[in-house]
């Protein structure tokens, strides 16, 4: 059995070019052709340029006027459009291949593990999965989207340790997951009323507090999303608005320490209340070199520290200078907060070495907000 190989032309020639040759051979102008076809010259012009297709009706008219069978015109038109489609496919494939190097930068493997994107084998398929995930036609456009541009400005040495692509993937995951959380309209007064309850939750196991915490935040218009820490994002949390009435609070559970979780939670709430209200920005917890961002981080730190441990109570405790385990436990019990939070604060403020009393600190393994595709 003989096998024939089809050979396709990669040169897209509009049928209009052949039509020009035909009417020239007949000594006919374009205007005359238009009159003979009862058409306006301006309506025929796109056909000559290949911008408008020769329809079956037009092909029948040309058959009558110039004597070339209608099927020739429809055949030329079909071949022209098919060649254009092949060219576009090649251009698209070339574009996709040019994005291959971006796949790992946008944390494709991490997203697969979380079931956020499908596990594909071919590079082009991976790129298409990332297009779907980000809702873009090209990965080169992702970093131009304001939602994935955190509000920090810092030096080159600092940014070299962070990946804008990884940050964009992490923020996009938070955006997608937060859309699944039903929230009441944002209410700052209601949010403040829950602070006492949140402090009391520090004494509970994650299985007891995680659902009520997310529920209470949602009732105040804040969607809390817990996402794993991606390589090179270097952040404990982020905040932004999904809409004018819905704030997003993302946490990574980086290092898994309970005291860091609660401090990060109140830190991000501080940003929502102090810096984010009325602003369409993304605030990513960081160590920015920008004076403005340093000041905002300092304010959010103070907000979190003072809510967790009342300033006057902390001042009196420090004044005594007793940092033994029993003293810390008694103090933590008296102010109604997890002992590890006091230890973390003392370590951070330099009253304890980083390795001291870590047995009083707890590690969390919180359920993360992610679902399979």
Please write the tens of the pLDDT for every residue from 263-289: 999 999 998 888 776 566 677 765 455
Question: ∠247-224-148 over CA atoms, to 5°?
Answer: 60
Q: What backbone torsions phi and psi does residue 163 show, to the nearest 5 degrees?
A: -110, 115
| Sequential DSSP letters for 295-318 | HHHHHHHHHHHHHHS-HHHHHHHH
Q: Which CATH number fits domain 15-98: 1.10.260.40, 1.10.3720.10, 1.10.150.530, 3.30.300.20?
A: 1.10.260.40
Contacting residues for 63 by C-beta, under 8 A, at least 6 apart: 69, 70, 73
Tokens of 297: 């981080």
Residue spans of the domains in the chain: they are 15-98, 101-144, 146-360
Over residues 143-163, the pLDDT tens digits come to 888 888 775 434 444 455 788
pLDDT of residue 1: 40
| 0.75 surpassed by pTM | no
Q: How far, in whole angstroms, is CA 294 from its chain's centroid?
A: 25
Low-confidence ranges of the chain (pLDDT < 70): 1-10, 151-160, 277-281, 285-292, 366-373
Q: What backbone torsions phi and psi does residue 116 show, to the nearest 5 degrees?
A: -80, -35
């Amino acid at each position: 059995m003989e096998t024939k190989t089809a050979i396709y032309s990669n040169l897209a020639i509009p049928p209009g070019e052949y039509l020009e040759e035909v009417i020239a051979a007949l000594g006919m102008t374009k205007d005359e052709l238009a009159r003979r076809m009862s058409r306006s010259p301006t309506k025929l012009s796109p056909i000559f340029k290949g911008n408008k297709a020769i329809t079956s009706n037009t092909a029948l008219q040309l058959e009558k006027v110039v004597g070339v069978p209608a099927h020739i015109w429809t055949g030329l038109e079909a071949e022209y459009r098919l060649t254009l489609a092949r060219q576009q496919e090649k251009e698209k494939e070339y574009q996709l291949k040019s994005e291959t190097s971006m796949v790992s930068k946008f944390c494709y493997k991490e997203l697969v593990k979380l079931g956020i994107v499908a596990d594909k084998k071919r590079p082009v398929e991976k790129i298409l999965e990332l297009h779907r995930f980000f809702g873009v036609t090209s990965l080169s456009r992702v970093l131009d989207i304001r939602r994935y541009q955190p509000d920090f400005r810092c030096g080159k040495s600092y940014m070299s340790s962070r990946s804008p692509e990884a940050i964009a993937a992490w923020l996009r995951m938070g955006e997608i997951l937060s859309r699944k959380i039903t929230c009441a309209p944002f209410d700052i007064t209601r949010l403040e009323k829950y602070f006492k309850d949140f402090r009391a939750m520090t004494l509970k196991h994650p299985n007891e507090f995680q659902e009520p915490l997310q529920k209470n935040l949602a009732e105040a218009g804040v969607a809390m999303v817990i996402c794993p820490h991606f390589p090179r994002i270097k952040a404990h949390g982020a905040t932004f608005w999904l809409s004018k009435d819905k704030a997003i609070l993302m946490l990574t559970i980086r290092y898994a320490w309970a005291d860091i979780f609660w401090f990060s939670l109140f830190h991000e709430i501080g940003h929502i209340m102090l810096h984010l209200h009325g602003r369409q920005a993304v605030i990513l917890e960081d160590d920015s070199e920008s004076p403005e961002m340093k000041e905002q981080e300092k304010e959010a730190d103070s907000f979190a520290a003072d809510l967790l441990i009342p300033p006057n109570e902390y001042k009196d405790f420090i004044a005594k200078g007793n940092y033994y385990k029993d003293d810390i436990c008694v103090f933590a019990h008296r102010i109604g907060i997890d002992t590890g939070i006091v230890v973390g604060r003392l370590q951070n403020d330099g009253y304890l070495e980083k390795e001291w009393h870590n047995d009083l600190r707890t590690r969390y393994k919180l359920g993360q907000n992610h679902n399979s595709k």
